[in-house]
Amino acid sequence: MPDTVQLEVFRYRPEEEGEPVFDTFEVPYRDEWMVLDALNHIKDHEDGTLSYRWACRMGVCGSCGMTVNGEPVLTCAAYLEAFLPGPIRVEPLRGFPVIRDLAGDLTDFIEKLERVKPWIIREETKDPSEGEYLQTPGQMAAYRRYSMCINCMLCYAACPIYELEPGFIGPAAIALAQRYNLDSRDDGAEERHEVLSEHEGIWSCTFVGECSAVCPKNVDPAGAIQRYKVDATADFFRSLLTPWRDR
Amino acid sequence: MSPQPRSPAQHVSDPIYPEAANPKYTRHHPRWHRRRIPIFWWLRKWVYTKFILRELTSQPVMYAALLILLHVWIVGRGPEAYETFVEWLRHPLLVALHLFVLGGLLFHTITWLNLAPKALVLRVGERRIPDVLVLAAHYAGWILVSAAIFWLLRGG
Amino acid sequence: MRRARDPFFWGLFSAGGMLAALLLPALFLIVAVAAPLGWFGMTAHVDWLALVGNPLLRLGLFGLLFLAFFHAAHRFRYTLYDGMQLYHLDALISVLTYGVATVLTLIAAVVLATAG
Ligand code: SF4
Ligand code: FES
């Protein structure tokens, strides 16, 4: 095992230079270090101005996503060892405008997420005194996988369509819409359909499939999108063949 | 009626930040860096290249459908026309092309069937049928149908 | 109407994709290569006329060709759209790809209706 490893870090300092550059740092190599530990080492000992995001260091907050050697990963869950011998290239997530160094502007994702109304919508609510809304384990299994999303946006960074068509609502937002659509307590599917059935909803997707490949939580957004396409198409042809049944 | 993604410049009417009146001002930072997408973006990674190759199987599919249609038409034009057509099909260059097209068709079949369980979620009661079973059923169907076609067109 | 377009063409695309995946390799292998070259003990002298004479087979073949044309057209439209980044030409590309598929479907209908 080497004593040190080289990191080539993407730097963008709009006050100083118009175009991004790569800075090379030599950091100690430790078997148990993640890429994030190496970045923290740089920030603590080499260059305190390096900007990036992280919080939990245990793969649950979803804030430390970056592109390492071309792959979108959670840097707190990616061993340095996996990228030996180096140099290891660390860049911000693709698809999002870069504010500074490794930090991107995520506003677009947050706004899209809001548009699919990722919360339980009910036609009738009951008073809390009447008790909770019950659900069987099987009903929960229908959406559970999609509820594991930590909004890390690795799937957006992996999706060439999101980069090409910035209007595309994107993998995680659709998976989260499905998380509520498939919830037995929810009545909001029609409202969400308004957004999802736009061209820039599900129909921009051409099933590249990389979103599911990079997702650290095994959410399978690609599967969620295809299922929604199948359902939307079946509904469409059904209402075409039996128009009298249309509400 | 889809709300467009808000561009940074639209953050301007913010009462807490008076400097937002400046049209150049954006709340988070004055200057974003946006990376450009190369025309040949699908050469950047092998998975993207595979994706484009998968999408390009539309051409072998188109070609195969056309050739089958042409075949039916020629059959209707009598034995002589048909003999000439078969002579054509025996030309080594056409055979090579057709083997290539067949490769494309097989690539389409394999990629298509492999993705099928993703789109198809079948349930028995509350239990989801495992993906491997859905996949196996698709492949079994393919083999069965192919065998039936061979039987139907066995000639002789 | 705009909302109808996407599920409509996607429906044709996926039905065509499934049929093409299951049927085309075997059909194409036999018609284009195996029968003319006499592979697997096949001969070029399949009684095609009798087969083509069967109206059910003709109808099935029409379904396959129609959906395969639209499958290919739809897929190719997206290849040009995203792969080549020709977003501004989408209207033209759609007319061309789906237009070609429509014309070919009509030709197939005529050929199959008059065959046999
Ligand atoms: S779907 Fe997966 S990759 Fe996408 S934001 Fe959620 S956890 Fe991250
Ligand atoms: S720091 Fe929270 S997910 Fe990596």
User: Mind spelling out the 3-state secondary structure of A76-98?
Assistant: HHCEHHHHCCCCEEEECCCCCCE
Facing residue for B102 by CB, picked from C14, C28, C108? C28
Please report, for the domain that includes residue C79, its CATH number: 1.20.1300.10
Give the separation between CA C46 and CA C31, rounded to whole angstroms: 10
Q: How do residues C16-72 score in pLDDT, each as one tens digit?
A: 999 999 999 999 998 898 888 877 766 656 667 777 778 898 899 999 999 999 999
Nearest to A69 by CA among A84, A51, A49, A88: A88
Least confident of A4-8, A199-203, C72-76: A199-203
Averaged confidence pLDDT in chain B: 81
% of chain C exceeding 90 in pLDDT: 52
Give me the pLDDT at residue B17, please. Answer: 53
* Whether residue B6 has pLDDT greater than 50: no
Facing residue for C33 by CB, picked from B99, B141, B154? B99
- Judging contacts by C-beta atoms under 8 Å, the chain B residues touching residue A19 are 33
User: Do the Cβ atoms of C46 and B82 come closer than 8 Å?
Assistant: no
Q: How do residues A118-137 score in pLDDT, each as one tens digit?
A: 999 999 888 889 988 999 99
Higher pLDDT, A152 or B18: A152
Alpha carbon nearest to ligand 1 atom 2, residue: A215
DSSP secondary structure code for residue B123 in this structure: E
Least confident of A67-76, B77-86, C24-33, C96-105: B77-86
Exposure class string for B24-37: b at 16+ Cβ within 10 A, else e: ebbeebeebbeeee
Residues of A numbered 55-74 whose beta carbons fall under 8 angstroms of chain B's beta carbons: which are they? 70
Contacts (Cβ under 8 Å, ≥6 apart) of C80 = C86, C89, C93, C97
Read off the pLDDT band of A245 (50, 70, 90).
low
Q: How far is B70 from chain C (nearest CA, A)?
A: 9
Mutation target to probe the A interface, by most A beta carbons within 10 A, among B12, B14, B32 is B32
Q: For residues A144-171, give the mean pLDDT.
A: 94
Give me the pLDDT at residue C76, please. Answer: 95
* Whether residue A82 has pLDDT greater than 70: yes
Determine the distance separating the centroid of ligand 1 and the alpha carbon of A214, expressed in angstroms: 8
Cβ–Cβ below 8 Å for B109 and C21: yes
Q: For B60, which residue in chain C has the nearest alpha carbon?
A: C72
Contacts (Cβ under 8 Å, ≥6 apart) of B78 = none
Give me the pLDDT at residue B93, please. Answer: 94
Q: What pTM was estimated for this model as a whole?
A: 0.87
Count of the separate structural domains present in chain C: 1
Cβ–Cβ below 8 Å for C6 and A197: yes
Nearest to C10 by CA among A232, A200, A138, B19: A232
* Whether residue B35 has pLDDT greater than 70: yes
Give the separation between CA C28 and CA B102, rounded to whole angstroms: 7
Averaged confidence pLDDT in chain C: 87
Q: What is the Cα Rg of chain C in Å?
A: 17
Facing residue for B89 by CB, picked from C32, C45, C107? C32
Nearest to B61 by CA among C15, C91, C103: C15
- Judging contacts by C-beta atoms under 8 Å, the chain B residues touching residue C44 are 86, 155
Give me the pLDDT at residue B16, please. Answer: 56
Helix (H/G/I), strand (E/B), else coil: B129: coil
- Domain A4-104 CATH (choose: 3.10.20.30, 3.40.50.970, 1.10.357.140, 3.40.50.150): 3.10.20.30
Cβ–Cβ below 8 Å for A97 and B48: no
Pocket of ligand 2 (CB under 6 A): A 54-57, 59-64, 74, 76
Give me the pLDDT at residue B1, please. Answer: 38
CA angle A84, A88, A93 (to 5 degrees): 130
- On the CB side of A187, how many CA atoms lie within 13 Å of its CA? 5
Give me the pLDDT at residue B2, please. Answer: 42
Determine the distance separating the centroid of ligand 2 and the alpha carbon of C88, expressed in angstroms: 39
Cβ–Cβ below 8 Å for A236 and C85: no
Burial level of A61, CB count in 10 A (0-12/13-18/19+)?
A: middle
Amino acid at C50: A
Cβ–Cβ below 8 Å for A99 and B28: yes
Q: How do residues A10-25 score in pLDDT, each as one tens digit?
A: 999 887 887 899 999 9
Q: For residues A218-241, give the mean pLDDT.
A: 90
Q: For residue C12, give its domain range.
A: 2-114
Contacts 24+ apart (CB under 8 A), A78-81: A78/A34, A78/A35, A78/A36, A79/A33, A79/A34, A79/A35, A80/A5, A80/A29, A80/A30, A80/A33, A80/A34, A80/A35, A80/A37, A80/A38, A81/A31
Facing residue for A227 by CB, picked from B5, B35, B119? B119
* Whether residue B5 has pLDDT greater than 50: no
- Cα dihedral value A84, A90, A93, A97, nearest 10: -170
% of chain B exceeding 90 in pLDDT: 42
Residues of B numbered 45-104 whose beta carbons fall under 8 angstroms of chain A's beta carbons: which are they? 45, 47-48, 51, 55
- Judging contacts by C-beta atoms under 8 Å, the chain A residues touching residue C14 are 229-230, 233
Residue reference for tokens 């990228």: A83
% of chain A exceeding 70 in pLDDT: 99
Q: For residues B60-89, give the mean pLDDT.
A: 90
Read off the pLDDT band of B21 (50, 70, 90).
low
Residue reference for tokens 């039936």: B148
Exposure class string for A172-200: b at 16+ Cβ within 10 A, else e: bbbbbbbbbbbbeebebbeebbebbbbbb
- Give the start-to-end residue ranges of the domains of chain A: 4-104, 107-241
Give me the pLDDT at residue B9, please. Answer: 44
Give the separation between CA B27 and CA A105, rounded to whole angstroms: 11
Averaged confidence pLDDT in chain A: 92
Give me the pLDDT at residue C88, please. Answer: 79
Give me the pLDDT at residue B155, please. Answer: 63
Q: How far is C10 from chain B (nearest CA, A)?
A: 13
Read off the pLDDT band of A147 (50, 70, 90).
very high
Q: For residues B111-128, give the mean pLDDT.
A: 79
Q: What is the DSSP string of chain A?
A: --SEEEEEEEE--TTT-SS-EEEEEEEE--TT-BHHHHHHHIIIII-TT-----S-SSSSS---EEEETTEEEEGGG-BGGGGTTSPEEEEPPTTS-EEETTEEP-HHHHHHHHHT--S---SS---GGG-PPP--HHHHHHHHGGGG-----HHHHH-HHHHH-TT---HHHHHHHHHHHT-TT---HHHHHHHHTSTTTGGG-----HHHHH-TT---HHHHHHHHHHHHHHHHHHHHH-GGG--
DSSP secondary structure code for residue B17 in this structure: -
Q: For residues A207-211, give the mean pLDDT.
A: 93
Give me the pLDDT at residue B3, please. Answer: 43
Q: Would you say domain A107-241 falls under CATH 4.10.1240.10?
A: no
Give me the pLDDT at residue B4, please. Answer: 44
Give the separation between CA A162 and CA A154, rounded to whole angstroms: 12
